[in-house]
Amino acid sequence: MDQKLIKQLEKQLEKTKKQLTKDLKSFAKKDPKIKGDWDTKFARVDIHRSDKNERADEVERYENLLPVEHTLELRLQDVEKALEKIKKGDYGKCGKCGKDIEIKRLEALPEAKLCMKCAS
């Protein structure tokens, strides 16, 4: 694979990694026990002072954020895996059939793990 292209994709991946980490940090905190796992923060609501509606809002916010957190977390894991592969020199190979992933696909999704055929 073209080294120049790999460098370019690596830059893109680093940028995505920074953005994802920033997004996750805004509402979740890293689980220190599990690598790559994030927990959505549950803002503490003062049960004595807050009324029922306020508490319901907080629960709703939490429930809405959980799937977002999960998506961002998985994407971040893929990005980190792709960066590791670049370092090891086996980037761009399909995890299923072992063939080279299409360059067009990598340009659109640098963290892609599968080629177009296997992903569809």
Residues that bind Zn ion (CB under 5 A): 94, 96-97, 115, 118
Listed residue (12, 38, 13, 14) closest to 26, CA to CA? 38
SS (H, E, C) 53-108: HHHHHHHHHHHHHHHHHHHHHHHHHHHHHHHHHHHHCCCCECCCCCCECCHHHHHH
For Zn ion, give the closer residue by CB, 29 or 96: 96
Smallest gap from Cβ 67 to Zn ion, in A, equals: 28
For Zn ion, give the closer residue by CB, 9 or 72: 9
Smallest gap from Cβ 95 to Zn ion, in A, equals: 8
For Zn ion, give the closer residue by CB, 18 or 96: 96
